[in-house]
Chain A
């Protein structure tokens, strides 16, 4: 079997069955499902409890129910014995609104606007129907008179009306990329340090060239990150569809998901190659985190810069940051997901990112090859580059 695949297979097999990976994947699923489902479920708690007091109020029951069905709202109708019982139920929060003798609408404070609209609409429809009957119209005429086409709704806001959803998705993409860019390169570096500090490399290099070891590691941890990303995307989409959010998703979802994958792959290659090179400089496991300082700084600063980009669209600095590596690893997918990226930015951003990745991999491979077999203390980066 090819050396690269041997290295990659070993890492994958070991990581996939490790508790850490399974717990991480499970935790990310729980977080995503909760983030998508909870606001929807909480926001959908729209069962209005309405009390109708007095015989004359009972005529409202059927039109209220009909209007509620038409609006996709749940109502629960009851008939309190008298006004004082109804007031007590309102105060206790057992009812949301009460109609007294089809004359007064009671609520605990200002009535919910949706609820008030329902009840007022029902009240007007009943009384208008009564008056039309008094004017001698037949039931059929009354029904056709009352059937008025609703106003068509037109938004005059900039955008397509999915701004809120896009904003939420941007936040989620940034968080997922932040998580993956912090963990996947750490896995690469930890593997490199393990092999260097324990001198496993001496047994490996009988059969492997350094670039094969480096490539195998990037392949394995890159794939692990892709699996995690897929788990998160599947959990997010699955939850959104199962709680009835399909209509709320903005158009172009495949493109948004696609660019997130592309951003992950490119970003991982950039940060992963940096992590492998920096990991090869240290001699002990406990030095791994401090050696990875530059990678962590690059990831966090890019994340913060992408925040600025997404909150300040239209500025010249925003245009530059969007395409500038390593900020573009976050900013590019964010701008695309929020519908802000121009075509030239996508092309230029990806081109610059590819150039940066090539530079980092060439330099990183050089550092890795010159450092991974050297024993003794921590090696300075310039020393490793010079050889």
Chain B
């Protein structure tokens, strides 16, 4: 298990880039890391991978501090993709495999499997610079995966991929997750995050403002009722308890803090035919907008 505890980072006395960031990722768990640009996602990942030094805080893997030997069992896809442009695809993936500690035969086998799995066969003997950005990204992913890491740290792995690439990557990550690999990835594609993750963290201005499963966050932010009325009397929104928002499509959200659902239902029945009544489960994108606004 990865545990990040009270991570703090400042640059020369300015405002903290990270302020007490804490979260954990279990074995076989996909952790989505979301937040606006500049919130601190990449900084956290770069500290985790030893690219930056934290000002304070601790990171442990299975209860032990992380040194270079441990870090070599991690896979990393940096925010800015970095590959040797004049090296051939297969040669490059193999080379990184050897660098990350595989023996030649293992590296060859893993490389061949990844080239196949990521549909890179047609380009495997070409120099990286001859590939489209999307295909370069697949190579970058292969480099991060080649040594079968136990923890995957992927900074915006889906950006720049076409829909087919997104599906390939998502499927591959689920496979690795099922093999017990812990995965952290950041993304702005919140619907995708919601579909893929087991837990997530929302970071804003260097502070972790929420962590948990999607269900937990929905529960925490979802104390609103979603209703639909037919033949409603004019001005009904002013006569039911709580604040009423138009959710479009004939549906309304009611924030009924201070009233019971029963009070709201009774009031609604006086105003028209109640076609829909129940707790609203907000989409991740709505939770995110609300929390980060």
Contact = CB atoms under 8 A, between A and B. Distances in A.
Interface of A: 1, 3, 6, 10, 14, 18, 194-195, 198-209, 373
B80 A203 contact: no
B278 interface: no
B272 interface: no
Nearest to A6: B99
B99 A200 contact: no
B82 A200 contact: yes
26 contacts: A3-B99, A6-B98, A10-B84, A14-B84, A14-B87, A18-B86, A195-B82, A198-B82, A198-B83, A198-B85, A199-B80, A199-B82, A200-B82, A201-B82, A202-B49, A203-B82, A203-B143, A204-B99, A205-B51, A206-B68, A206-B71, A206-B74, A206-B100, A207-B71, A207-B101, A209-B68
Contacts of B71: 206-207
- Size range of the chain B interface in the assembly: 20 to 34
A129 B71 CA distance: 98
Contacts of B78: 199, 202-203
Contacts of B96: 203
Contacts of B50: 205-206
Interface of B: 46, 49-52, 68, 71-72, 74, 76, 78, 80-87, 95-96, 98-101, 143-144
Given A194-B84, A195-B82, A198-B85, 8 more contacts: A6-B99, A10-B84, A199-B80, A199-B81, A202-B76, A206-B72, A207-B99, A207-B100
Q: List the 5 closest pairs (A to B, CB-CB), nearest first.
A: A200-B82, A199-B82, A198-B82, A202-B78, A199-B80
Contacts of B98: 1, 6
A74 B155 CA distance: 79
B248 to A, nearest CB: 43
Nearest to A10: B95
Nearest to A198: B82
A200 B51 contact: no
Determine which residue in A194, A200, A208 has the highest number of CB atoms from chain B within 10 A of its CB, and name it.
Answer: A200
Contacts of A206: 49-50, 68, 71-72, 74, 76, 100
Contacts of A373: 51-52
Determine which residue in B49, B80, B82 has the highest number of CB atoms from chain A within 10 A of its CB, and name it.
Answer: B82
B164 to A, nearest CB: 25
A194 to B, nearest CB: 7
B116 to A, nearest CB: 22
Nearest to B49: A206
A199 B82 CA distance: 5
A26 B95 CA distance: 29
Nearest to A5: B98
B131 to A, nearest CB: 14
A205 B50 CA distance: 8
B83 A200 contact: yes
Determine which residue in A194, A201, A202, A208 has the highest number of CB atoms from chain B within 10 A of its CB, and name it.
Answer: A202
A201 B51 CA distance: 9
A208 B85 CA distance: 20
A203 B85 CA distance: 14
Contacts of B86: 14, 18
A199 B49 CA distance: 13
A194 B95 CA distance: 17
Contacts of B85: 194, 198
A200 B98 CA distance: 16
A13 B227 CA distance: 68
A194 B80 CA distance: 13
Contacts of B51: 202, 205, 373
A209 B129 CA distance: 27
A199 B50 CA distance: 14
A202 B82 contact: yes
Contacts of A204: 99
A203 B68 CA distance: 12
A198 B74 CA distance: 20
Nearest to A204: B99
Contacts of A10: 84, 87, 95
Nearest to B52: A373
